[in-house]
Amino acid sequence: MVVLLKKDPNKQQLEGLISWLQSKNIEVHPTVGQTRTILGLIGDTSVIDIDLIRALDIVEDVKRIQEPYKNANRKFHPDDTIIDVSGVKIGGGNFAVIAGPCSVESEEQICSVAESVKASGANLLRGGAFKPRTSPYSFQGMRADGIRLLLEAREKTGLPIVTEIMDAEQLPLFEDVDVIQVGARNMQNFELLKKLGKLDKPVLLKRGFSSTLEELLMSAEYIMAGGNSKVILCERGIRTFETATRNTLDLSAIPVLKELTHLPVVVDPSHATGIARLVAPMSLAATAAGADGLIIEVHNDPTRALCDGPQSLTPEAFDSLAKQIRHMQAALA
């Protein structure tokens, strides 16, 4: 970290700043220029609140040289992390397709979608049991029954399951779930992230719709700092001024994240676009851009879906997309 001081800083305040930094085990190296002094800080500056320093009267500007996340940082872990989800690997060249309905609606629905996506080559089954809906009057999910039905679908198909948690008090219900999803709305629910950090279970962490990539990585850091390094990042579109799609898929997030972190990156083209016919082109684009996997909504009868029907693929459309994804992968190999 580098601190640029204002001209002629108050000596007492400067000494106060230096001794405060030293008390945090930071070495301070002043460089006195003709008009300005710069302090070079060496040590674990992740413990320093950059805004606190910036707010000081004697400080002109502060710059971080190193990223504030350590566990998620590729600099300290150059090799790709490969996450093993009950036998299915994600990352480091292992591409995973996660497919299934937005919400679990019935035994018949989840089991039939599970069978069909499996036959098309999906590696994991998704399905929401706890649904974060904008309106409290919309379908809120089947909750505990939904998780029970997902486990039943796993039993029938062998597909590991991914489902969203909304509150730490639901954790006991997630004991047998293979991947816990943290949705966009909870990306910065730090207390929840800390609790997930105590588990030995993969977490699919979705990007908040107004979060920067650094904020996404800091949320991953919350989980990893607790000891759980099994974090899968998910780009699911962000809010922009564009209204033609539900969100705007930030495709550049894929190569940027792959540079910054060793964690696997999957893409959700369903929530990113909100429109079923855009899911295939965006899935192929994400695959070409280097994603480690995709999470795609598939419903047996999208027009009657209780949630997110307009963006859900039919099993037939998913089958044809799965083939195209394999062709894209072959073309890239």
List of residues contacting ligand PEP (CB under 6 A): 102, 128, 132, 183-185, 206, 236, 268, 271
| CB-nearer residue toward ligand PEP: 13 or 314 | 314
Q: How far is the CB of 276 from ligand PEP (least distance, A)?
A: 15
Q: How far is the CB of 127 from ligand PEP (least distance, A)?
A: 9
- Binding of Mn ion at residue 221 (CB under 5 A)? no
Of these partners, ligand PEP, Mn ion, none, which one is at the site of residue 154 (CB under 5 to 8 Å by kind)?
Answer: none
Q: How far is the CB of 26 from Mn ion (least distance, A)?
A: 45
End-to-end CA distance of the chain: 40
DSSP calls for 213-273: HHHHHHHHHHHHHTT---EEEEE--B--S--SSSSB--TTHHHHHHHHBSS-EEE-HHHHH
Q: Which residues pair with 231 in a beta bridge?
A: 203
| CB-nearer residue toward Mn ion: 17 or 305 | 305
Of these partners, Mn ion, ligand PEP, none, which one is at the site of residue 236 (CB under 5 to 8 Å by kind)?
Answer: ligand PEP
| CB-nearer residue toward ligand PEP: 116 or 186 | 186
H or E element that contains 181: strand 179-182
295-324 residues in contact with Mn ion (CB under 5 A) are 308
* Distance (Å, whole) CA 150 – CA 211: 30
Give the dihedral sign, CA 202/188/150/320: negative
* Distance (Å, whole) CA 83 – CA 278: 28
Distances (CA, A) of 89 to 143, 223, 224: 28, 20, 19
Give the dihedral sign, CA 37/42/48/50: positive
Contact 273, 311 (CB under 8 A): yes
Q: How far is the CB of 130 from ligand PEP (least distance, A)?
A: 10
Which of 1, 5, 56, 102 lies at the binding interface for Mn ion (CB under 5 A)? 102
- Binding of Mn ion at residue 164 (CB under 5 A)? no
Q: How far is the CB of 204 from ligand PEP (least distance, A)?
A: 9
- Binding of Mn ion at residue 292 (CB under 5 A)? no
List residues binding Mn ion (CB under 5 A): 102, 308
